[in-house]
Structure 1
């Protein structure tokens, strides 16, 4: 279990927790009711991209400093390409404790005209453990995932002028929206998807909102060879697709996959000068489940440790760095707790009896 329970900062009996419970009790009868927030209400709270980045950075900082508790996410897999994940976490600095239950069905859009990803997030009262909120988690996931990529890119390759995004679904769209917030020198964003209409949809939605030119890549090789920083949000399966070939990748690039070991030739991560992950324990768990059939690369450190200044990021322009971020619950719980705070203050949501 990823935690540092001997650290006093993880104890739940401080004055902040007591005052927090008192504040919640002014609006919500803890133990008898909780606040329910629909996806529309979660989005309507109005947390913007810069605020998501700040909240996500706080969560990663706590993770890097080992001021949290978060077991590796367990899951079930009814079909080969499908997963359900249970993701609990406790971040004392935010009085944030709870769990996300999320599932991914890649065929949903075409098969049922439903989103690929749906889920719920529970927030609990630290003092008593009673649930105080239940909310949609799909939007939170869609926001915090590109925020982690953008923050990692800033920490590892701040001067980059080119960025590539493989996959033009919801995550691809949000990555292209977010990356300019942290990579201030970007001149071009290359995108690639096997679906031409997905790339067209991304450009139509995002280009009017950002000043950076979005370029449709002709093929994966061209995109890889054109960019300094690259990310991917495709599918996650046990047998690597290895769409991106090892020989296309050069020294000095930074690769930030969100799809584990699927999209990139596994040799790329193995030959990288630094292989960084958001959670060592989660990557080891996925390896035990067979998602790294050629073996898990040697892990240098965790993303949060780079953010918190505990470990060094890029030390040379020639370094090839791979930073694999598959999603950690501390980010979801911190963002979810802030949404709850604002909903409670604004009297948004529906009170449900327990």
Structure 2
């Protein structure tokens, strides 16, 4: 067997900061394709997404996470590191940093070290769009988005890219600046298309009963809490952040998770009163691989639990790094020379 000899490496590393990544535009279709391929490859083991490691001091002033993974579609290995310092639970003093270090697993060379903020704002709504494409009821026309934060702002462009037949889009949020940002992002993607902004919680309840797809991305302070009996038969509810009451999880006909293990760790706010949590009926990777269907019937109410997968960070990060390198962006540092 011939011995693999990696290409010579000059000892440098491309570093991509927030300002570099902010200048890059990725088409929603390209992001959706990248995360779809990375998640599908989990089913055959070429993508690998182990559980994250975490550390926290006794006084809980900070929490740190490390996630190692491999995107089998692109053959890229990476580690994502996240550090959050919040000693007084005061947003004005919060410090939160995330980085992704990418390595090419075909050539054995490093690709880039990059800030993760832009990556998260793209991969999360892209995965929600994939879940909607695979699990929404047939002939879906109406979608409701709850929340206007960072991950919400690409949600509608991603969603209508995955499901172009959607013709009624509803939005509930409490931040005027956030609402304006969501509308601005969507107008840039789909000029001339409208989004209905819901004025209050009564309108939200009505909208939840009309929507084929509900995507909940709000923060923990949201007053929104859509109940299971508000949803019509066949509705798909995608849980990213907050905005759905526990009943939507507890009474769902079927639960699809991006990761059953991560859902078990982070979905405790959806548990029954006795503390038990339903297990996932299927994972998205198996749906994409065709081993299980996205839904069993048109009348099934489905809860899709969208927790972060490092393989999707890797897929989007590699895509951004590729475009940045082609444009000559970033700073090259002699890290290993």
Place the TM-score, normalised by the shorter chain, in its bin.
Answer: 0.7 to 0.9
What residue in structure 1 maps to residue 34 of structure 2? 55
Q: State the Cα distance separating 1:228 from its structure 2 match.
A: 0.7
Between 127-136 and 245-254, report the one with greater CA deviation: 127-136
Out of 118, 123, 136, the residue aligned to residue 144 of structure 1 is: 123
Deviation string 1:283-325 (CA, Å, 9 cap, x unpaired) is 12335xx545432213111112112212111231111011111
Could you say if the C-alpha distance between residues 235 and 65 of structure 1 is closer, same or farther in structure 2, counting changes exceeding 3 Å?
Answer: farther
Q: State the Cα distance separating 1:119 from its structure 2 match.
A: 1.6
- Checking the alignment, whether the CA contact within 8 Å between 2:77 and 2:103 is kept in structure 1 is yes
- Checking the alignment, whether the CA contact within 8 Å between 2:51 and 2:262 is kept in structure 1 is yes
For 2:154 and 2:182, locate their aligned partners in 1 and report how far apart those are by CA, in whole Å: 9
- Checking the alignment, whether the CA contact within 8 Å between 2:121 and 2:154 is kept in structure 1 is yes
Q: State the Cα distance separating 1:141 from its structure 2 match.
A: 0.8
TM-score by length of 2: 0.84
Out of 145, 154, 174, the residue aligned to residue 165 of structure 1 is: 145
Pairing of 1:241-320 with structure 2 (within 5 A) = 243-259=225-241, 262-286=242-266, 290-294=268-272, 295-320=276-301
SS in 2 for 1:307: helix
Whether 2:214 is the aligned partner of 1:230: answer: yes
Could you say if the C-alpha distance between residues 226 and 84 of structure 1 is closer, same or farther in structure 2, counting changes exceeding 3 Å?
Answer: farther
For 1:350 and 1:234, locate their aligned partners in 2 and report how far apart those are by CA, in whole Å: 35
For 2:228 and 2:62, locate their aligned partners in 1 and report how far apart those are by CA, in whole Å: 27
Question: Pairwise CA RMSD of aligned residues?
Answer: 3.3
Whether 2:317 is the aligned partner of 1:336: answer: yes
For 2:195 and 2:96, locate their aligned partners in 1 and report how far apart those are by CA, in whole Å: 26
Task: Give the number of the structure whose residues are more often helix, by fraction.
Answer: 1
What residue in structure 2 maps to residue 352 of structure 1? 333
For 2:257 and 2:165, locate their aligned partners in 1 and report how far apart those are by CA, in whole Å: 25
Pairing of 1:81-100 with structure 2 (within 5 A) = 84-100=64-80
- Checking the alignment, whether the CA contact within 8 Å between 1:75 and 1:86 is kept in structure 2 is yes
- Checking the alignment, whether the CA contact within 8 Å between 1:186 and 1:212 is kept in structure 2 is no
For 2:151 and 2:2, locate their aligned partners in 1 and report how far apart those are by CA, in whole Å: 38
Could you say if the C-alpha distance between residues 83 and 247 of structure 1 is closer, same or farther in structure 2, counting changes exceeding 3 Å?
Answer: farther
Structure 2 unaligned residues grouped into runs of 5+: none
Q: State the Cα distance separating 1:212 from its structure 2 match.
A: 3.5
Pairing of 1:98-247 with structure 2 (within 5 A) = 98-102=78-82, 111=92, 118-126=97-105, 131-157=110-136, 159-210=139-190, 211-218=192-199, 219=201, 220-235=204-219, 243-247=225-229
Q: State the Cα distance separating 1:168 from its structure 2 match.
A: 0.8
SS in 2 for 1:146: helix
Aligned pair count?
325
- Checking the alignment, whether the CA contact within 8 Å between 1:149 and 1:325 is kept in structure 2 is yes
Could you say if the C-alpha distance between residues 124 and 205 of structure 1 is closer, same or farther in structure 2, counting changes exceeding 3 Å?
Answer: closer
Structure 1 unaligned residues grouped into runs of 5+: 1-12
Out of 303, 308, 330, the residue aligned to residue 322 of structure 1 is: 303
What residue in structure 2 maps to residue 4 of structure 1? none
